[in-house]
Amino acid sequence: MASPPHQIRRRKIIDDEDRGEVRQRTVAEMGEFAVIDRATRGRVQTADSILGPGDDAAVVAAPDGRVVVTTDMLVQGRHFRLDWSSPVDIGRKAIAQNGADIAAMGARCTGFLVALGCPADTSLSVTDGVTEGLWREATRAGAGIVGGDLVQSDSLVISITALGDLGGRSPILRSGAKPGNVVAVAGRLGWSAGGLAVLLAGSAHHRSLVEFHRAPQPDYLQGISAAVNGATSLTDVSDGLIADLGHIAQASSVAIDLHSESIRLDEEIVDAAHDLGSSALDWALNGGEDHSFVGTFAADASLPDGWIRIGWVREGAGVTVDGRKFSGGNGWSSFST
Amino acid sequence: MASPPHQIRRRKIIDDEDRGEVRQRTVAEMGEFAVIDRATRGRVQTADSILGPGDDAAVVAAPDGRVVVTTDMLVQGRHFRLDWSSPVDIGRKAIAQNGADIAAMGARCTGFLVALGCPADTSLSVTDGVTEGLWREATRAGAGIVGGDLVQSDSLVISITALGDLGGRSPILRSGAKPGNVVAVAGRLGWSAGGLAVLLAGSAHHRSLVEFHRAPQPDYLQGISAAVNGATSLTDVSDGLIADLGHIAQASSVAIDLHSESIRLDEEIVDAAHDLGSSALDWALNGGEDHSFVGTFAADASLPDGWIRIGWVREGAGVTVDGRKFSGGNGWSSFST
């Protein structure tokens, strides 16, 4: 017996969804609540999420009795480009740069919130992709997305809030560096700047750098490792190594001198810099958005695994390389062109 | 003896600042860090702010061992207009709608974070005004602004995160309403919708409604009062009374019936509705953004001061007024026009 027409139609809609054709629809066609439902349904929260999305606010565990919290906004055309990065990459990067800030306090990520603004004609494939990237990187950071907001805006805007727990430790501030401390770094340097240079040059090579630029992969646990191992100051490399160490130098009222020979220049960035006529050392020292970690430790401290000594803290002010001011870019600034 | 030229120049700059002429400059002219400094310098944090702005993240007290957290994004032209609201009002409203969400969980506000996107040519008078409004309302809510971000965007975008503490109480969810409960409200209804209608009509009258629309004044403590007095469900009126009670009805799997005669229609909205040929009851039932509080209580509970009974919870589904579906608007939706 033939199915009645409404059953056929129902099956047709399900088939379309299965083929992903629903993702061709726009946010306005689906409506705010349906898009939020797609972003949250079936996602697995962590034990820190006491109350997830759906009420006036979320409730997140703060076993330490203090909560570490930071927020960053990413704007289309300014912090990402949809022709350079996939929606998944954009979501991942948004979480990574906020999660790295939590780790840079020596804390463990416990939850993320996402406020997303997008035009009404944004394809569901974009919001689905961003959502997938947000969840993928949040999971890497060990936390869930516990809440958010979805609004209409002229271009894509993503504002992330990250929460973290100190586990009874003191937060590691930028202001704790002392003369005589060693400066050490954990993670890649210059990869994001290299990837950006490859994209700007329109080169089809050096894809590992491009991938890293699109979605850096902070090793969040290095922040806790540094804290446990007595780091006296700590930050993540977001504006550029020299610029970020400049923040530490200023907050700590000290000078920092880096040894250029200690800065690990990976083969990938050396090759790309050679091809593009650029300087891998400049990328490593002035490139931002690597979201590696840099901090200071007592001279007699044993550095945690994965940390490499790259310089010393001195009396004075400012950051030098081999005793001299390093000429090159000056790191990232929000309102430069 | 005449001052050397550089002293004259220095004094000239200070005089300009004193006259407020510096506020004619743009965010790009001043630079990101100077604008952030203007937003934070001299501000007084509360005891909940363990570490304020200036490091990778802030640290906020969470004495309960849990933190309540919410985020909302406000977009120029969609959630506010610079020709209708002053920058101070915009800042106040942004904090109010997030602080009300914390209170609607039965929690006390402990801190706010602000991510602000603005065009490079934004006047400092705008960022200074928004900042002043943010701080003024945060202070009303009993908390400080502990961190933030400032980025370049095509239009003004403000994303707020609010944190709160439950003081050992359970969060009051939307899902706890039970048949037989009473429905009660604390605060004004229909004022924001009335103020918006006055603005849309271009009327120069009814300024108290316009002021309320520009900067609603939630009584944050009513959320805690409701929690302490045994509220079974709670939310704030952001989408409209019927729409927000619809969320409670759905989450609780109950029906809610309101008594129209119990809905207090203040003289201010009755007068304005009369002048504009509108319905004050429609504003009160379907207008959003009043950020008053509505919740449910056991039938034999004594309502806290300031709460008025407006209806009953029944078996069933949906929200009715005097037993019937109320015809009128359907509350606020982010992607409606």
What CATH number is given to the structural domain containing B59? 3.30.1330.10
- Subunit contact A105:B161, Cβ cutoff 8 A: no
Residues 86-105 of B with CB under 8 A from A: 101-102, 104-105
Q: Where are the alpha helices (DSSP H) in B184-325?
A: 191-201, 207-214, 221-228, 241-252, 267-276, 280-286
d(CA A156, CA A133): 15
B55: nearest CB among A64, A162, A174: A174
**Token pair for B258:** 């309101």
pLDDT in tens, A55-105: 999 999 999 999 999 999 999 999 999 998 999 999 999 999 999 999 999
CA–CA distances in Å: residue A31 to residues A240, A276, B17, B79, B241: 40, 46, 48, 17, 20
Question: B64, A62: Cβ pair inside 8 Å?
Answer: yes
Closest CA to A226 of A266, A264, A173, A189: A173
The sign of the dihedral angle between the CA atoms of A260, A263, A266, A272 is negative
Choose from B55, B78, B150, B252 for mutation: most chain A CBs within 10 A: B55
pTM for the predicted model, two decimal places: 0.91
Q: Which A residues, 232 through 251, put their C-beta within 8 Å of a C-beta on chain B? A: 234-236, 251
Please indicate, yes or no, whether residues B201 and B270 belong to a single structural domain of this protein: yes
* Residue B7 confidence (pLDDT): 40
Q: Which of B64, B104, B163 sits opposite A56 (nearest CB)?
A: B104
B50 in Cβ contact with A95 (< 8 Å): no
- Name the token pair of B34: 């100077």
| CB-CB contact of B157 with A115 (8 Å) | no
Domain of B244 in residue numbering reads as: 174-321
Residue of B nearest to A49 (CA): B66
Answer yes or no: do A65 and A191 share one domain: no
pLDDT of residue A13: 42
**Interval B250-283: pLDDT, tens:** 999 999 999 999 999 999 999 999 999 999 999 9
The verdict on a CB contact (< 8 Å) between B65 and A67 is no
Last residue of a domain, one of B165, B197, B223: B165
Say how far residue B253 (Cα) sits from the centre of its chain: 28
In angstroms, what separates the C-alpha of A49 from chain B's closest C-alpha?
Answer: 10
Q: Which CA distances in Å does A265 have to A172, A268, A276, B186?
A: 27, 8, 16, 63
pLDDT of residue A334: 56
Task: Let me know if residue B220 belongs to a domain.
Answer: yes
Domain C-terminal end among B143, B165, B187 = B165
* CB pair distance less than 8 Å for B105 and A56: yes
- Contact indicator for B251, B174 with CB cutoff of 8 Å: yes
* Mean pLDDT, rounded, for A44-63: 96
Chain A environment of B151 (Cβ under 8 Å): 73-75, 78-79, 334
Please calculate the CA angle A53-A54-A60 and round it to the nearest 5 degrees: 40
Residues of chain B contacting A102 with CB distance shorter than 8 Å: 56-57
To the nearest whole Å, the CA of A247 is away from the closest chain B CA by 9
B242 and B106 share one domain: no
Beta strands in chain A (DSSP E): 49-51, 58-61, 66-75, 108-118, 144-152, 157-165, 182-186, 233-236, 255-258, 293-297, 307-314, 318-321
Closest CA to B56 of B164, B147, B143, B131: B147
Site from A64, A71, A155, A234 to mutate, B interface, most B CB atoms within 10 angstroms: A71
**Average pLDDT for residues A185-214, to the nearest whole number?**
96
Any domain includes B128: yes
| A196 shares its domain with A159 | no
Does residue B252 contact residue B175 with C-beta atoms inside 8 Å? yes
- Cβ neighbours of residue A262 under 8 Å, at least 6 residues apart? A308, A309, A310, A311
Do A263 and A160 share a structural domain?
no
ipTM over 0.85: yes
Residue of chain B whose alpha carbon sits nearest to that of A112: B69
pLDDT band of residue A107 (cuts 50, 70, 90) is: very high
**Chain B residues whose beta carbon lies within 8 Å of the beta carbon of residue A105:** 55-57, 59
- Residues A181, A135 share a domain: no
- Please indicate, yes or no, whether residues A100 and A137 belong to a single structural domain of this protein: yes
Provide the shortest C-alpha distance from residue B2 to chain A (in Å): 35
- How many domains, in total, are found in chain A? 2
Q: How confident is the model at residue A24 (pLDDT cuts 50, 70, 90)?
A: confident
- CB < 8 Å to A168, chain B: none
pLDDT at A190 over 60: yes
Residue A327 confidence (pLDDT) above 80: no
How do residues A110-153 score in pLDDT, each as one tens digit? Answer: 999 999 999 999 999 999 999 999 999 999 999 999 999 999 99
For residues B159 and B31, membership in a common domain is answered with yes
Distance CA B125, CA B132 (A): 10
- CATH no. for residue B312? 3.90.650.10
The confidence score (pLDDT) of residue A149 equals 95
B83–A contact, CB cutoff 8 A: no
Residue B228 touches chain A, beta carbons under 8 Å = no
Q: Please calculate the CA angle A286-A287-A288 and round it to the nearest 5 degrees.
A: 115
Q: Is the CB of A148 inside 8 Å of chain B's CB atoms?
A: yes
Contacts of A135 (CB under 8 A, 6+ apart): A43, A91, A145
A105 and A200 assigned to the same domain: no
Identify whether A218 is part of a domain. yes
Tokens of A199: 């994209």
| Closest CA of chain A from B252, distance in Å | 12
**Length of chain A counted residue by residue:** 337
- Residue where a domain terminates, one of B117, B138, B165: B165
- Please report whether residue A96 resides in a domain: yes
Nearest Cα of chain B lies from the Cα of A35 at a distance, in angstroms, of 11
Query: Contact A153/B157, CB-based, under 8 Å?
Result: yes
Of the residues B69, B101, B150, the best mutation for testing chain A's interface (the one with the most A CB atoms within 10 Å of its CB) is: B69
Contact B212, B191 (CB under 8 A): yes
Q: Is residue B8 in some structural domain?
A: no
Please answer yes or no on whether A32 and B335 come within 8 Å at the CB atom: yes
Establish if A47 belongs to a structural domain: yes
Measured in residues, chain B has a length of 337
Question: In terms of domains, do A114 and A232 share one?
Answer: no
pLDDT value of residue B32: 85
Q: Cα angle at A117 between A218 and B216, to 5 degrees?
A: 115
Regarding whether B189 and B126 lie in a shared domain, the answer is no
Q: Is A5 helix (H, G, I), strand (E, B) or coil?
A: helix
Tell whether A145 lies on the interface with B, counting CB pairs under 8 A. Answer: no
Chain B residues within 8 A of A163 when measuring between CB atoms = 67, 69
Is B37 in the same domain as B153?
Answer: yes
Pairing of β A58-61 and β A182-186: unpaired
A179 has a chain B CB within 8 A of its CB: no
Task: Give whole-number Cα distances, B309 to A163, B106, B264, B295, B303, in Å.
Answer: 38, 19, 10, 10, 8
A191 belongs to a structural domain:
yes
B303: in domain: yes
In chain A, which residues have their Cβ closer than 8 Å to the Cβ of B106?
A: none
User: Chain A residues with CB inside 8 Å of B226's CB?
Assistant: none
- Ranges under pLDDT 70 in chain B: 1-21, 328-337
